[in-house]
Amino acid sequence: MSDRIYYLDHAAATPVDAQVLAAMQPYYSDNFFNPSSPYAPAVAVRRDYEMAKSKLASTIGAKADEIVITAGATESINLAFSSAVSHVVVSAIEHDGVLAAARRINYDKAKPTHKGIIEPATVASLITPETDLVSVQLANNEIGTIQPIRDIVSVVEAERARRKEAGETRPIYMHCDGSQGFGQIDVNIARLGVDMLTLNSGKMYGPKQVGLLWVKPGVKIVPVIIGGGQERGLRSGTENVAGVIGFAAAAEKAYTHRKSESERLQNLRDRMQQDLIKNFDDLIVSGHPKKRLPGSLHISLPGIDGERLVFSLETEGVLVATGSACAANKGTRSHVLTAIGMTDAEADGSLRITLGRLSDDESLKTATSIIIQHIQREKERVGRA
């Protein structure tokens, strides 16, 4: 493999930011105390932990005691789904965590448009008097489409109003999996209007295996992990102090720079997209042209073998994905691409390119030209040049 690496898979994993790591270090060594211990150094650790939760909460406009710290987005999603018992509506392009949790209950899937948008009307058509949870992601991890969460919330609110009117007592909540997009777009609980929100530290240059579920006051969830009663009884286990300090530092940094970073990524992405379109007539760019994460670029070239391309690009240090890391690992075709109506040939000829902090002007130019060369070579190989 090449000595130089061009990392274009930020949706799969992000490196821990150097400042974030520096903030975490003291909590492994000097400040290692159990935050539940009574003596002053442990009380100081507890205070730092609570402060970090406050910081974290403030990046989404929430309060510290409304967030439950978890071991990542998957656990947060499992916890959010504990509120549902009878029927849930999820989008067909959710992450595996949401789909697996939904399968435990009676559920319906809302189909996206070809651009990957979940229309509020589609969600409305699936809600029944039995529905107790609607779960739609903030932005898709493969094609980058940003969902009209606020409008979907309006649908949920309308159903809530109808039930109140009809004297029905079943609650209905709206959960949003915000694993992808924090630091690129606005994530604010008041503006989104949701009842629960999942965030993932490992996707925003924080440590992995740390996440949170924000739960609106009044929303009833059932703990998934029980024991010592930490996190107000909603998630037991000795607190991950270093992890939460890191998560908060990462969230704060991503929040502070989101406008400039978002603009920077969009410029880089748009240029790469144009360069690719210029070179290949048959190139399909998926996701919504405008409502799309600034760092996301999903392309397909029917007839090309996307997987083969990933490995050939790797020889020159260009790291991209064919789809989400979980799905790719299982060797199955992406449920997202199928849901937006892609043919098998289009889906199999796909590359997911996700830019982030490791992407800069110069490296992107080089990576783009390597990608163009390799696509040309692959097209020649399959006789589609």
> Which chain residues interact with a copy of itself by CB under 8 A?
1, 5, 9, 12-16, 18, 21, 25, 28-30, 32-34, 36-42, 71-75, 77-78, 95-98, 100-101, 104, 202, 207-210, 224-230, 236-243, 307, 310-311, 314, 319, 321-322, 325-326, 328-330
Which SS3 state, helix, strand or coil, does residue 175 take?
Answer: strand
Q: Which residues pair with 185 in a beta bridge?
A: 182
Shortest distance, position 41 Cβ to a copy of itself, whole Å: 7
Q: Catalytic annotation on 326?
A: yes
Q: Of 71, 225, 283, 326, which residue is the catalytic one?
A: 326
Whole-angstrom distance, CA of residue 246 vs CA of residue 22: 9
The smaller minimum CB distance to a copy of itself, of residues 171 and 317, is found at: 317
Whole-angstrom distance, CA of residue 89 vs CA of residue 225: 24
Q: Which residues contact 18 (CB under 8 A, 6 or more apart)?
A: none
Shortest distance, position 144 Cβ to a copy of itself, whole Å: 17
Helices (H), the chain: 18-24, 40-58, 73-81, 96-103, 120-126, 149-166, 189-192, 241-256, 258-279, 306-314, 325-330, 335-339, 344-348, 361-381
Shortest distance, position 231 Cβ to a copy of itself, whole Å: 11
Whole-angstrom distance, CA of residue 252 vs CA of residue 199: 13
Residue 159, CB-side half-sphere exposure with 13 Å CA sphere: 25
Q: How big, in percent rounded to 5, are the helix, strand and coil portions of the chain?
A: 45, 15, 40
The smaller minimum CB distance to a copy of itself, of residues 102 and 156, is found at: 102
The smaller minimum CB distance to a copy of itself, of residues 129 and 228, is found at: 228
Shortest distance, position 314 Cβ to a copy of itself, whole Å: 4
The smaller minimum CB distance to a copy of itself, of residues 170 and 308, is found at: 308
The smaller minimum CB distance to a copy of itself, of residues 79 and 117, is found at: 79
Which SS3 state, helix, strand or coil, does residue 312 take?
Answer: helix
Q: Which residues contact 381 (CB under 8 A, 6 or more apart)?
A: none
Shortest distance, position 174 Cβ to a copy of itself, whole Å: 20
Q: Which residues are catalytic?
A: 326
